[in-house]
Chain A
């Protein structure tokens, strides 16, 4: 039974497997270096943490035919402008709180997570906060006591009280505001922001 054609031999496919795997992996590593350079905070896709001092919106871009974040004028968090280091510290506190309270097993973040509660990617811009002037106050009240301050939307689903400290809640708000400025290639599509509703 030694009439196996070359294209059907174990030896050939072994070589193919090794080369295809190695090439794919090398390509992935090269692309990863490029992606890391392009997604560092402070670039055009992922703005610096001090973007929390600015007004942020998410609008349809006619040329690109997709939604893009738009960074506007000054709009500091809780009326106090933060330097870059303090802003990063606030965002980091917020992110660690989001991790420590296991938020991702109900919510999605950038569309990843569980689907029991709404996505948080652009939640800073959500019309749920009624108006830009009301927003910070309402977010803080909600995070500190979600049961008393929740908007039911006709659903009996509600967020349990995670017992955040006020500092943690302010950090979460900074994290959410910063995240809303990330260029997510148009996701979520067709999103009506709080300013569009005003």
Chain B
């Protein structure tokens, strides 16, 4: 197939399953943006949908859709690379297919309950069936157990395939990382009355996922992508991957301490958390160097410009959003004033997008390419590739703009609410009512609309790119490994 028609014949079993994950990921991505917009409108017009879809519901769907679509993207990306990396067919693929449908049915039920039932009484039934009421892991307990089962099936697919096929460096890091990822989820699956202990373990899931295991996971996907997109030598990407793992876990595991400043835990966390989180940006700088250097050495020669573009966006987004924006307010000396303000939202927007959304989108483009019969997607695309270029520009500009708007709001809150007014409810509203704050929220909403525009264009482009293209992608023969 050389005319860019959709053809799944060239895909291997893992890749066919990956397409299912990518499709759900994109639907949830759209849901994330939609409910983000609703919540953004409520900051500007508090009466909007009051009593129907209140802010807490919109915000919960917004953040949960994000977590779940990123996970779908990661799982899909791993199924996508699994057979090529291991050299054999996915072990237990049929089980993996069933797991996909089980997970997707569960996610659908959970979202419907969030929207239609919303909340319940203060008892265990609510926690088991409706909503656990713990940020980011609101999913009711039955769903938690289901997710663990599905993750075990996925782990069996990955570990079983690699152990029967080729055990590369990427395979080793990936497999161990998935053990940590699935294991940490258990830390969020019990009820305790003591709020300090509750939040202590809750951060094991949230921080150790997002700032440790997810970062290593995208490191693996990035390493594989660079080999695919640029033909970078395996030895080089794997050495870098190990360096990244050392620095990421070396800073990220104890960097957990920066969440333990104000929740009632002992004072030594101020020192440990401050020190190690100051180190957290270091591996992210290395990643930028790595990506840009590799791209430069290969003179940006790639048959898939959109994917390469998003890989570079990931390197910078990860460094800026997770590294710089995180570091700016992570030391206890400043965090005492910025904790619990829009500062966190500012950092969160750029970090999740820059570190994770970008790399998932890069993989979506690699999938789109192969789905179209491995057609050319480099320079000189139909229409000069305006759709991918504009969607990339709008998405990045939109998210960066929201980040800056929320940063301004966060500064204003830190000074007015915290430093001047002393964190009372009166102080909180003095900050929220201030024209400077409200202006920032209007900016955030406007740039949220820009982001939504970028997403629409992205979806359109993913469905049409490569259509009617007759040139084939170049065969990138990876440089021979030194013996």
Assuming the contacts A153-B426, A189-B337, asked whether A100 and B196 have C-beta atoms less than 8 A apart, the reply is no
Residue of B nearest to A13 (CB): B242
- Given that A14-B242, A114-B59, A191-B423 are known contacts, is A102 also in contact with B131, CB under 8 Å in the complex? yes
CB pair B239–A96 under 8 Å, yes or no, is no
Question: Could you jot down 10 A-B contacts, CB within 8 Å?
Answer: A39-B197, A46-B194, A96-B127, A100-B133, A105-B57, A110-B195, A119-B423, A126-B425, A158-B46, A165-B121
Interface hits, B119-147 → A, CB 8 Å? 119-124, 126-127, 130-135, 138
In the assembled complex, the Cα of A89 lies from the Cα of B358 at a distance in Å of 46
Q: Does B265 contact A (CB under 8 A)?
A: yes
Residues of B within 8 A of A100 (CB): 119-123, 126-127, 130-131, 133
- Contact across chains for A127 and B482 when beta carbons are under 8 A apart: no
Q: Is the CB of B261 within 8 A of A187?
A: yes
Instruction: State whether A127 and B59 are in contact (beta carbons under 8 Å apart), knowing that A10-B169, A39-B200, A96-B124 are contacts in the complex.
Output: no
Whether the pair B51, A35 counts as a contact (CB closer than 8 A) is no
Cβ of A100 to closest chain B Cβ, rounded Å: 4
Q: Which residue of A lies closest to B39 (CB)?
A: A116
Is residue B246 within 8 Å, beta carbon to beta carbon, of the partner chain?
yes
Evaluate contact between B59 and A185: CB separation under 8 angstroms.
no
List residues of chain A with CB within 8 A of the CB of B268.
31
Closest B residue by C-beta to A90: B193
Identify which of A16, A94, A122 gathers the most chain B CB atoms within 10 Å of its CB.
Answer: A16
Contact pick for A95, options B46, B193, B260, B262, CB 8 Å: B193
Bound Cα distance A35, B106 (Å) = 35
Beta-carbon contact of A102 and B57 below 8 Å: yes
Chain A stretch 130-174: residues in CB contact (< 8 A) with chain B: 151, 153-158, 160, 162, 164-165, 168, 171-172
A181 — nearest CB in chain B belongs to which residue? Answer: B264
Chain A residues closer than 8 Å to B264, beta-carbon distance = 39, 45-46, 110, 182-184
A9 to B240, CA, bound (A): 10
CB nearest to A4 among chain B residues: B482
Number of interface residues of A (CB under 8 A): 89
Residue of B at shortest CB range from A42? B194
Give A184 to B335 CA distance when docked, in angstroms.
13
A156→B433 CA distance, assembly (Å): 9
Inter-chain contact B60/A105, CB cutoff 8 Å:
yes
Beyond the given A39-B266, A102-B118, A116-B59, could you list 6 further A-B residue pairs with CB under 8 A, ordered by the A residue number? A10-B242, A100-B123, A100-B127, A114-B56, A185-B270, A186-B262
Q: How far is the CA of A151 from the CA of B424 in the complex (A)?
A: 13
B272 is an interface residue with CB less than 8 A from chain A:
yes
**A34 CA to B247 CA in the complex, in Å?**
25
CB distance from B57 to the nearest CB of A (A): 7
B11 to chain A, nearest CB (A): 31
| Among A24, A49, A98, contact of B133 (Cβ-Cβ < 8 Å) | A98
Across the interface, name the chain B residue whose C-beta is closest to A194.
B424
Whether, in the assembled complex, A51 has its beta carbon less than 8 Å from a beta carbon of chain B, the answer is: no
Contact with B along A23-35 (1 / 0, CB 8 A): 0110110011011
Residues of A within 8 A of B196 (CB): 39, 45-46, 110, 182
Interface residues of B (CB under 8 A from A): 39, 42-43, 46-47, 50-51, 54-57, 59-60, 118-124, 126-127, 130-135, 138, 169, 173, 191, 193-200, 235, 238-239, 242-243, 245-247, 249-250, 253-254, 256, 259-270, 272, 336-337, 339-342, 344-345, 418-419, 422-426, 428-430, 432-433, 482-483
Q: Do residues A192 and B424 form an inter-chain contact, with CB atoms below 8 A?
A: yes
Measured between beta carbons, the chain A residues less than 8 angstroms from B483 are 1-2
Chain A hits for B253, CB < 8 A: 21, 24-25, 27-28
Give chain A nearest CB distance to B17 CB in angstroms.
30
Tell me which residues across on chain B come within 8 A of A28, comparing CB atoms. Answer: 253-254, 256
Please tell me if A111 contacts chain B, counting CB pairs below 8 Å.
yes
Contact between B433 and A154 (Cβ–Cβ < 8 Å)? yes
Shortest beta-carbon distance from A7 to chain B in Å:
11
> Does B169 contact A99, Cβ atoms closer than 8 Å?
no
Alpha-carbon gap, A133 to B268, bound state (A)? 38
Residue of A nearest to B270 (CB): A185
| Nearest CB on A from B264, distance (A) | 4
Q: Does A20 contact B (CB under 8 A)?
A: yes
Q: Is the CB of A191 within 8 A of B249?
A: no
Pairwise interchain contact A155-B433, C-beta atoms closer than 8 A = yes
Q: Which of A8, A35, A45, A175 has the most CB of B within 10 A?
A: A35
Taking a contact as CB atoms under 8 Å apart, the answer to whether A92 and B193 are in contact is yes
Verify A155–B197 contact, CB threshold 8 A: no
